[in-house]
Structures are given as C-alpha cells and as structure tokens.
Amino acid sequence: MVPLHWYLLLSSAVFVVGVAGFLTRRNIIIMFMSIELMLNAVNISLVSFSRYLSDMRGQVLVFFVIAVAAAEAAIGLAIIIALFRNKATAHVDEANEMKG
C-alpha cells in the first residue's frame, strides 16, 4: 500500500505549482486556473486523509470544496468579463486604478 506521505508530498507539490503560477503569470485567466490547481491539491490531501484514517468526513469536505470552487469560478469569470469590457485587457498589471 502506498504510504500516506507520498500523497501529501504530491498534494504539496501541486499546491506549490499553483502558488507559483498565481504569483508569476500576468494573464488573469491563468491565475484563476492556478487557484483551481491549489483547490485540487487540497482535495487530493483530503481524500487521502479520508482513506487512511477510515473517515468519510474528508470526502464530504471535498464535496463542499468542489461546490465552492464552482461558485468561485462563476463569480471570477464574471469579474474577468467585466474587467475585459472596461479595460480590454486580460493582464492584471494593466488594471492599476486602485494603485496609490
């Protein structure tokens, strides 16, 4: 049987890739996909905890995370469309009105 630590290492690796993508990319759509990557990484660790601790609550939590991710994607994409309508760009560093 695969040790639990392997799953946790995989989860942290995917999470860190998501963080790196969010911090370095300019395109807001790719940044949103990085957030989805991070959510998936957390889901992997929750499911593996659920399996290795013989507790189904982890999977219930993943169910909720997926529902919230769907809501977040809908709102975020609406914000992207509003940004594109006002600025005609998908690059976050060109949306700098709030900069002091």
Binding site for other proteins (CB under 8 A): 1-2, 4-10, 12-21, 23-27, 29-30, 32-34, 36-37, 40, 43-44, 47-48, 50-57, 59-60, 62-64, 66-75, 77-82, 84-85, 90-91, 93
Minimum separation from the CB atom of position 100 to other proteins (A): 19
Minimum separation from the CB atom of position 97 to other proteins (A): 17
Minimum separation from the CB atom of position 98 to other proteins (A): 17
Q: Give 72-87 as a DSSP string.
A: HHHHHHHHHHHHHHHH
The token duo for 98 is 């709030």
Closest C-alpha to 61, from 81, 47, 76: 47
Q: Is 73 left (phi over 0), alpha (psi -120 to 50) or beta?
A: alpha
